[in-house]
Structure 1
């Protein structure tokens, strides 16, 4: 199916529809209370659907420290010059004004599951009947030898969109003529499987326009990656000789960096670079670990409603969850949020709960109007979210197909941000 804003929203509405019932009192304190931590693709969507579909029967509080949310998806297009930073930024005012959501811009610093409360950095304590965690990712300490968050300005990760993305673009634009850009790619699993390789494509596009003799080195701990054939075909067609991908079979996993001296050492061979993007191994956002619902890295959940396997009243969405076959993507988080919202509303108000169904598509831009995609549909099983079927762009597609794929991604972006923020 070709997706655009209308079909995306229409499909979303049908999937989330249910039959309302009077609210049930939760432990004698009036309306049931839902606290959502994290205002991205999972959290904002879940908060909006619960508030919208319960029609005021549930008190919804959304905790998000940032007043403007910058989408990680499409941030690579900013690096390539296809988007402005303002195109990626979205605010929360409409969630409060149109849906009555209590939006709190603060950090959640603790979860007490026994007392069912969330503590905020500002000193407030929020009680909940259901807690939804969608905090995105954090990085594994020591994942790349020589790098830590202390060096993120010298060697940015840019895997949380915003100032890091702007910094990375500045470094790309200021690369000396014929300079060397390096990327240290992450091991599985990580946010947005095609993301690092779309990033390489967009950086190559930018350099081809402004610095065509520059070189790109990719050190990758994996022997293969998402849409590998499509990306490598695109690099050969658009950026011949510019991109050198070094996979696990050639030492790509044996990497260290020296931010002070701007060097990258791959399998014992040291290379001086002019800019370096380090994308370390990832884990669930810190608050999930503080809540005691992770296995040390990710948060295992039940596929039917995204509830934590450690606590039925805590739900974990998106990148932080360990749920089975779905990739860690914005589309996945949005899809999971609707299933979760339907289940949470049913548990708190007695409304009808529909069987869980999930979908995902990940689009990538390789060059101007050269878009590719991969996606699948999924179902809930007792063990996990399981893939039902899938699709992927094919190598050798004509330019009209690739352009249509890129235009489809633009329609999806418009649709998902509307679905998140109303």
Structure 2
């Protein structure tokens, strides 16, 4: 069944149904206050659903430093020439004008859980009754020896949408004839498990057209990865001889880089590269750590409502959460946001809270009109979000099915961005 905008938005309808709010739990300050930090697939969705379904009974503030949000999901298609950067950019104007959300473009730099306040870089301190953190990812210092965030212009990560993605594409287009592109792939867990390998597909697609004698080398610390058989089938079919992957058995887990020299040392073998895409090990966005709700890397949450194990009034969504079986993806964050929004609204207005149900699908494009997918449904069980059954594309599928899968992904993108930004 083709997933279009209407069907996608309906997938969270039960958890987000608008119901009468018989009682509003407000103190002396008036309406209950919800602050959402992070305006991506988790945060924007949560803010919109709480504001929409509470019908003005809850004061919602969204804190997001960027005025235009560029999705990391689908950014690989920009590298492959299937999207323009403007296709990935979205603004917050409708959330403010149509849903009454107070959108503040600033950095959240501190959380005081005792006084229930969030501090902004601009100096303001905002009170909350419920706090939702959806800060995405940051990188683990030292996870790739020789690389830190100051080297991101020489060796971009491009794992946050926007200028890094544009920089990586410019570097790919400027590669010399027959040049070498090296990716340092991340260890588990990380944002979008198939993402690095879709990126390789899209880089190969671009190079096959503008620089067909170029080579791609992947240094990978993982023994296996998401959709591995599907990607390797596609690489052989479309980009034969261009892509090599070195897993841990061949030194892929023992890598260091020299950004000044543009070299990559893979288990003692030094490669002189023209473009190096370093995707480091990842952890929850910094504000989750500052709030004191992480285990050092990720924020453990309760699967019924995404509240943190450390504080029932602080919730963490999406990539930053340690929740169980769901992959870190935009679809997962959006699904978790709907469950969280329903629970927060129920706690603050005594409206009905539905049992938590989650879903996720991750699409990847291997070549033109050759899309593949993996996904599952989930429910709380055994103290975590647990899979109740899944699916994955199969090798050897015919061209019509692969084209339909790609078109389905386009429908999903239109649906999720409408769901996020209104």
TM value normalised by structure 1: 0.99
Aligned to 1:172: 172
Deviations 1:298-336 (A, max 9, x none): 000000000000000000000000000000000000000
Aligned to 1:352: 352
Aligned ranges 1:211-250 → 2 under 5 Å: 211-250=211-250
Aligned to 1:392: 392
Structure 1 residue 348, shift from structure 2 partner: 0.1
Aligned to 1:143: 143
Matched residues in 1 for 2:25 and 2:346: separation?
A: 13
Aligned to 1:112: 112
* SS of residue paired to 1:377: strand
Aligned ranges 1:327-338 → 2 under 5 Å: 327-338=327-338
Aligned to 1:340: 340
User: Structure 1 residues 32, 382: closer, same or farther in 2, change over 3 A?
Assistant: farther
| Gapped regions of structure 2 (runs ≥ 5) | none
Aligned ranges 1:21-420 → 2 under 5 Å: 21-420=21-420
Matched residues in 1 for 2:115 and 2:262: separation?
A: 49
Aligned to 1:6: 6
Aligned 8 A contact 1:18 1:351 in 2:
no
* SS of residue paired to 2:12: helix
Matched residues in 1 for 2:382 and 2:353: separation?
A: 17
Deviations 1:45-96 (A, max 9, x none): 0000000000000000000000000000000000000000000000000000
Which moved further from structure 2: 37-46 or 376-385? 376-385
Structure 1 residue 21, shift from structure 2 partner: 1.5
Matched residues in 1 for 2:108 and 2:341: separation?
A: 21
Structure 1 residue 18, shift from structure 2 partner: 4.7
Aligned 8 A contact 2:2 2:404 in 1:
no
Matched residues in 2 for 1:118 and 1:15: separation?
A: 28
Structure 1 residue 24, shift from structure 2 partner: 1.9
Structure 1 residue 19, shift from structure 2 partner: 2.5
* SS of residue paired to 1:77: helix
* SS of residue paired to 2:47: helix
Matched residues in 2 for 1:393 and 1:54: separation?
A: 39
TM value normalised by structure 2: 0.99
Deviations 1:336-391 (A, max 9, x none): 00000000000000000000000000000000000000000000124100000000
Aligned 8 A contact 2:133 2:288 in 1:
yes
Matched residues in 2 for 1:21 and 1:414: separation?
A: 31
User: Structure 1 residues 120, 23: closer, same or farther in 2, change over 3 A?
Assistant: farther
Aligned 8 A contact 2:14 2:354 in 1:
no
Aligned 8 A contact 2:19 2:53 in 1:
no
